[in-house]
Structure 1
Amino acid sequence: MWRPLCSANDGTKGSSSSSGRCEPVTAHSTVPPQSDGVPITPSNTLWISFLVYHSTTACSVLASMVEATFASAFELQNLALFNRFGSPTESPVLLPKLFDTFTPLVSQSPVLPKEIHALKVHFCSRNDCIKPLKIRQAEVEDYDDLVKVFDVATELRPADYGEFFLAELIGGQDDRNKCLAAEAHGFAVGLASFTTDIDINLLNNCFELESYDFLVDREYMNKIRTTMTFMQHRGSHMFFPSGGMPSSKRQLQSR
C-alpha cells in the first residue's frame, strides 16, 4: 500500500502527523536532499505503509514494483519506508533486499530522544530506479537503434513508407523539420519528429479544433470572430429591422 505524506484532498499542504492529521508545512517539513537528490517533501513523496508478499517471489518483483510506481506518477520523486523492527532477526525476508534499494535517512537534528535512534526511515529516489533520459537532436547513426524500437512499438511498415523512411526522416532535417532522440545507456530508445510544414485546412477537416482557435494565430482569430459577429448583427437588422420574424413572404419581398 502506497500512502502519501499528505492527502491531496486536504485543503492545505502539509505532512502527516502521528495522529494521522495533516499538519501545516513548516521549515522542518522539508527534508534536505540525500546524496544530491531532490528534497523530500509532502507533495513529492509516498510512504509504503505495508507490503503483502510471498517470500519466494518478493525479491524478484520488488524492483519492477518500485519502477512501475515511479513510472505511473511523474510528480513522484521519493518513496519512504518506516522500519518497525528493532533488530535484523525480526525483519522479514524481504527487508534486506528492500534496503538495497531504500537507503536510511540521515537525521538533521543533533539532539534527539534515545527512542528515536531505534527508529529508521528508509527512502528511495526516482533517479535510483529510473535513470533520466538524455534528449538530443537525432542523428543518422541512431537509425540502427531506432528501427528496432519502431518495429516493436509502432505499426509503421517498410512496405508503406519505404525501407529507409526513418533514415530519410532523420537525415532530411532542416529549419522546418527537426527530430529529437531520447538516449539511455548510450543507445537511442525514442524519437520525436517536429515540423512547421502542416496543412491547417486538412487538420480542421479531420478534427474538431475550435477550442484551439482552428490552429491559427489567436490575434488573427479574434479579428475573424469580430468580423463574423459584425456581419451577423448587420444581417439581422438588414432582414429583420423590427427585431422579429417577418409576418409573411410578402413582407420579405417588400424589404
Structure 2
Amino acid sequence: MDLSLNNIHHQYGDVNILSDINFDINSGEIVCIIGPSGCGKSTLLRFLGGLERPTSGEVLQIGSPPDSCLNPLTYIFQDFALLPWRSVEGNISLALEDHRIPADQASAIINDVLARTKLTDFRKALPRQLSGGMKQRVAIARALCVNPAVLLMDEPLSALDSQTRELLMDDLVDLWTREQFTACYVTHNLAEAVRLGHKIVVLSRRPGTIREIVEIDTPLADRKKDIVAMEQKQEYLWNLMRDEALAADMELTDD
C-alpha cells in the first residue's frame, strides 16, 4: 500500500502551519521528514495516520494492505508508551487483543516478533527492568505484530543516548533488509535521516513547505561503510535548513 499527500494546506486559527505539501510514500521505502522546529512535521504524521484532517488537500491510500495486516497504519512514539504493569510479552499482546485471533495464532505472532526484535529472552521482564533501547524494541515489536502496511514513526529514537540510538538504527536497518517494510519517519536528527531514509523530505520553517526531496540511492546496509558520502549528505541537508532552523528556534513550535 502506498500513501500520497496531495496539496496539503493547514492552519490553526490564523496561523498557517503547512502549505502546498505534495509527496508520496511508496511501498517498501522509508521516507524521513526533517525541518526546523515548528514546521509541521508531526502534524503531517497525524494526517497520514488519520488522527487529524488538513484544512485542505487529501491523503490517499493507494492499493490494499497485505492480507495478514491487522492495522494498516501503526504508530511508534518516542516515549515508548508501555504499560508498566505488563511484561514485555504482555505489552506486545495488547496490540492483538482487539482482534479475534485464536490463542495459538497470537502466541505464534508474539514469538515471531520477539525473535525479530531480539527480545525472546526478555519476554517476562517488566518495563522498569529494561533500558531505554530495550523499551523501544518492545514498542517496535508491538507495532510489527499487527503487520502494518505503513509504520508512522514520530522521533522514535530521540529519547535515547547516542550509543543506544546507533544500535537501534542498526536493528531497523536489519529489519528492513529482511522485510522491506514501509515507513514515514519524523526526526530532528540528520544522521538518522541519512542512515535510514530512502527519501528525505526537507521542510521549510512555518508555514512548512517542501524545500527539497533528497533521495539516497546507497543501500541501507552499505551506508555505515560509506562514511564520507553520508557525512556529505548530512552537510547538504544542514545547509538546506541551517538559516531557517536558527530563525525557527525563536518561534513557538507545533511539533
What TM-score range do you get, normalising by the shorter chain? under 0.3
Superposition TM-score, scaled by structure 1 size = 0.22
TM-score (norm 2): 0.22
- Larger RCO (CA within 8 A; separation ≥ 6): 2
Q: Which has the higher strand share?
A: 2
